[in-house]
Every structure is written in structure tokens, then in C-alpha cells.
Amino acid sequence: MSSRNLTVAVSEEVFARIRERARQAKRSMEAEVADVIEDAFGGQVPPDIGAVVAAIGSLDVPALREAAGSRLSKRESARLAALHRKRQKDGLTRAEDAERRDLMRRYEKAMVVRATALAELRQRGVDLSEFVTP
């Protein structure tokens, strides 16, 4: 991915918050700002997630139940948690950060699919108690 430079003036308060956030993450301020901007514009639904969500309504109840159980594997969840801890403690290499972003994208996709499937099941009047942990 290519990148472009951008110079932005911010208040002293925002500057201090970015500096502190970068310090805690053991990253440069530039890397921290780039992440904040990417996260802000990442709110758009990626095409692959949009396609899955659009197809949810056409699924039958058994397929919806399966989709409602969508999540990362235990191994992937543990790896993502480890990467988050390492990011806060020591910082991540570029490869580790790319892996973290990929796992986060897959996690977010699973959560959107899960929520959409649960909403569809509820709309169809299906009892959702099996998906609620006591």
C-alpha cells in the first residue's frame, strides 16, 4: 500500500493525548496517528462483509444458527490477545501489526455476521436462549 504525507495542526491537548497514547504503545506518534485515521475511515463496511450480510436474509434457520455461532477459533483469539498485550507492552513489528490487523478484521467480520444472523433469527421468532450464556 502506498502512503502520502500529511501535515495537520492540532491543539496542545490533542497533541498531548496522541503523544501519551504513542508512548504507552511504544510507537512513534506518526504510527499512532496513522492508526487513528485508518480506524476512523475503516467504519465503512468492506465488500466481503457486506456481501455476507446481504445474504443472511436468504438463509434457512439451521444455516442462520450456524452463522450466529460465528467467531474466531480459540487459537486465533489467543493470538490476537497476545498481540494486543505485546503491542501495549513492547510494541509490534510490522509483520505482527499486519497479523493483528488481519485477525481484527476477521474478528469484526465474525461479529457482524453473528449479530446479523441473531437479528434475523429474532425477527423470524426463533428462541435465542441457546446463544445466551448464563
pLDDT recorded at residue 1: 55
Per-residue model confidence as pLDDT tens digits over 32-42: 888 777 776 66
Provide the CB-side half-sphere exposure for 74 (13 A, CA). Answer: 0
Joined grid coordinates for residue 94: 510490522
> What does the alpha-carbon distance between residue 116 and residue 108 come to, in Å, rounded to a whole number?
12
The residues spanned by each domain of the chain are 1-44, 45-127
* Amino acid in position 86: K
Domain with residues 1-44, CATH architecture: Orthogonal Bundle (1.10)
Per-residue model confidence as pLDDT tens digits over 2-34: 677 777 787 888 888 888 888 888 888 888 888
> What does the alpha-carbon distance between residue 78 and residue 84 come to, in Å, rounded to a whole number?
10
Report the Cα 20 to chain-centroid distance in Å: 23
Q: Going by C-beta distance under 8 Å and a sequence separation of 6 or more, which residues neighbour residue 124?
A: 61, 64
